Structure 1
Amino acid sequence: MFRLNRAFGVGRDAKAFLNMQGGLTRGEVPNPEHHEDQAERLRKIVKRQRKVLRRKDRQIEEQAAALETLRERRQHEIRLRTELKQQRLEVFRLKNELDAMNGLVETARDVPSAEKVSGEPGIGALPDFVIIGAQKGGTSFLYYLLTRHPLVEPAARKELHFFDNPERFDNGAGWYRRCFPQSGWKDGRRSITGEATPSYLFYPPVAKRMAGVVPQARLIALLRNPVDRTYSHYQMQVKRGTEPSTFEEVIEQQHAPYVPRSIYVDQLLCWFEFFSKEQMLILKSEDFFERPVETLKVVLNFLDLPEWQPEASELEQRRHTGSYKQKMDPSTRRRLEAYFEPYNKRLYECLGVDFGW
């Protein structure tokens, strides 16, 4: 009995082993043709998927090529816009230069002859004072008030641009003299005359030229908060139609004149090489704007003129309020204040006075 059971177990194990080797399980025996059909269907599915993948790859490549074309086209458009902007800027600058030249021509036409100014042939005068700057610092208002004084005779024009225009300077001092009336006497006092060209302060050659022609002239400079002066200068050019860029753009441009003209200390140091500090009166523009009568007294004393007070209507007639449609961005103001701070400190040390900018 024991041997029979053992033989039966051995046979069962052998059958299970053979079934495992043949890949068979219990149940219906697999049909080889059915497996072949399934394999064929799978091959077809794989083939179709490969075709789809290849088609997708081609689409991706075409899209990538199209994007690259668009990118190149966009870069080309950006380059063209940049070139167009530069060309427009150049056109504006050329127009500005042309307008300036036309202005100089008109100025030359307006300059009277020595006979007409002084009443004597071939005789004029040299200025007793010159307001040298700064531009947008209140020079027009100050010159207007000064020329209302009974002992101050105006020049042929407020701004003669004799010392900052090489062609005009080459005309010689005789041309410059013809722009001023000869000194006269009123109530036992001699009258004086002068001009006001605010760009003189900025150009280094002017100080040396002026020292050679009018070494005894008394010089007046109005210095305005550099941030406000810079923005006012920019707004003036915008109003004239000669500045197409935004304020934030122009202060980043190295060739733009707005910021450099507001660095006063370096400009004044050039002047101090040829004129003593006693010969120059440096005023804070904000003091003049807020208290014009008091500031005018200081100027009259500097020019050895008797006290005189303009009428209220004269104080308002030529005063520019400096209001703008668009205010300066606060963040831009902070940037400029930080930029000008070291220059302002040097200015205070140079002059021995703190303007509080």
Structure 2
Amino acid sequence: MDKKCNSIDFFLVGAARCGTTSLYNYLNNSDDVFLPNVKEPNFFSDVDSPNTEDYKLPKLGEKYHTKIIKDINVYNALYANAHKNQLKGDTSPSYIWDTKVAEKLFEHNPNAKILISLRHPVDRAYSHYIMNYYTGSDRNHSFEDALSATKNHIWGSCNQYLEMGMYYNQVKAYFDIFPKQQIKIMVYENWTENLEDEIKNMFDFLGINASDSVFNKSIESNKIQPVKNLFLLNLLRQNKIKETVKSVINQDKIDKLKSYFFSDSKEIKKISPEFRRKLSFSFKKDIDKLTALTEIDFEQKWKV
């Protein structure tokens, strides 16, 4: 295969826990778009993962949420089935966290469109903590304890919850390099509230139409599932044990067993309004700069 990377037409670069999985699925419902079976290839970012599965080559026909792909031939192969008239996209949230990626994407395709979804930084942080807690990456039993814990810089289990919501420098990296008209900021609270209109606006930005099938097909989100027997589940998640289990049981059966033994119907505890307000204040300066950069009044939208 040619050593030159496929030309990707658009990038959904983040941020993490800001609805990129839902956006991936809406985009993937369109015949005019080609997205690989790996939702987050992480090809252009310098990130890593504690999960050894993320480094294994993706198998043909199987779907994956995350992979760490560094081989250009493997990355190219993800797009092997794309038609010439389809827009090719990459939806890796690590691309906004790693601020060096913007320059790499411009070098790859200076005409690429950039999509960025941003959520209230405290809500994003809390959602990130809850995800890490239930997936075993964070063993702290409260958000407050998690915020004061030693920082883990590994992307696949990162606990820089507040830092990742300091959006200004992350977004500025793209505004410094790409023409403004090639960047679309999607406010998470807006597009989840006015879904159909905002998704159509996203498709318009990409230069394609959002057909009825985009909304009629089922959409999966990266929803957090509360679990019980967390200690046992975390034990089974250890790489060596997980690999042994996967060698004798296929993923479909594993998912069914996990659902039966570990799924919990209880609601996830919400962050207290008082603590949310306190944390929100710490983002005010960053949000003011973000507003000036993007000309979007985030202070008003997020009530900071």
TM-score, normalised via structure 1 length: 0.59
Matches within 5 A, 1:173-184: 174-181=73-80, 183-184=82-83
Superposition pairs of residues 332-343 of structure 1, within 5 angstroms: 332-343=275-286
Distance 1:293-1:141 versus aligned 2 partners, 3 A rule = same
> Alpha-carbon deviations, 1:281-324, whole Å to 9, x = none?
11101111112211111111111112413465535x31456685
Residue 13 of structure 2 aligns to a residue in which SS? strand
CA RMSD of aligned residues (A): 2.6
Quick one: which of 142, 155, 164 aligns to 2:36? 155
Describe the SS at the equivalent of 1:343.
Answer: helix
Higher relative contact order (CA closer than 8 Å, sequence separation 6+): 2
1:212/1:348 CA distance change after superposition, 3 Å: same
Is the partner of 2:40 in helix, strand or coil? coil
Q: What is the alpha-carbon distance in structure 2 between the residues aligned to residue 309 and residue 129 of structure 1? A: 22
Unaligned runs of 5+ in 2: 49-67, 152-158, 226-266
Q: Deviations over 1:180-218 (max 9, x none)?
A: 136535xxxx21111201121111221122222233221
Q: Which residue of 2 aligns with 1:223?
A: 118
Q: 1:318 aligns with which of 220, 226, 231?
A: 220
1:228-282 per-residue CA deviation (whole Å, 9 max, x = no partner) reads 1010000000110111112112223462411111111111112222212211111
Q: Is the 8 A contact 2:34 2:87 kept in 1?
A: yes
Q: For residues 168 and 86 of structure 2, what CA distance do their matches in structure 1 show? A: 33
1:266 partner amino acid? N
Q: Which of 236, 241, 250 is the matching residue for 2:136?
A: 241
What is the deviation of 1:350? Answer: 0.9
In the alignment, is the contact (CA less than 8 A) between 1:264 and 1:347 conserved in 2?
yes
Higher helix share: 1
- Alignment partner of 1:128 is 2:23: no
> Is 1:171 matched with 2:67?
no
Structure 1 stretches of 5 or more lacking a match?
1-113, 115-120
Which residue pairs with 2:293 in the alignment?
Answer: 350
Query: What is the match of residue 54 of structure 2?
Result: none
Aligned equivalents of 2:145, 2:188: Cα separation in 1:
27
2:185 corresponds to 1:282: yes
Whole-Å separation in 1 of the counterparts to 2:36 and 2:3: 16
Aligned match of 2:236: none
Provide the C-alpha distance between the structure 2 equivalents of 1:166 and 1:344, rounded to a whole number of angstroms. Answer: 26
Q: Is the 8 A contact 1:126 1:176 kept in 2?
A: no
Alpha carbons of structure 1 residues 236 and 322: separation in structure 2 relative to 1, 3 Å: closer
Given residue 216 of structure 1, which amino acid in structure 2 is its aligned partner? N
In 1, Cα distance between equivalents of 2:136 and 2:70: 31
Identity of aligned pairs, percent? 26
Equivalent of 2:90 in 176, 184, 195: 195
Q: Sort the Cα spacing of 1:166 and 1:259 in 2 relative to 1 into closer, same or farther, 3 A.
A: closer
**Aligned equivalent of 2:108:** 213
* Residues matched between the structures, number: 232
Give the distance between the partners of 1:176 and 1:235, measured in 2 at CA. Answer: 31
| Paired residues of 1:180 and 1:194 also in contact (CA < 8 A) | no
The answer (yes or no) to whether the contact 2:130–2:224 under 8 Å persists in 1 is no
Does the 8 Å contact 2:34/2:88 carry over to 1?
yes
Distance 1:123 1:269 in 2: 28
TM-score, structure 2 normalization: 0.69
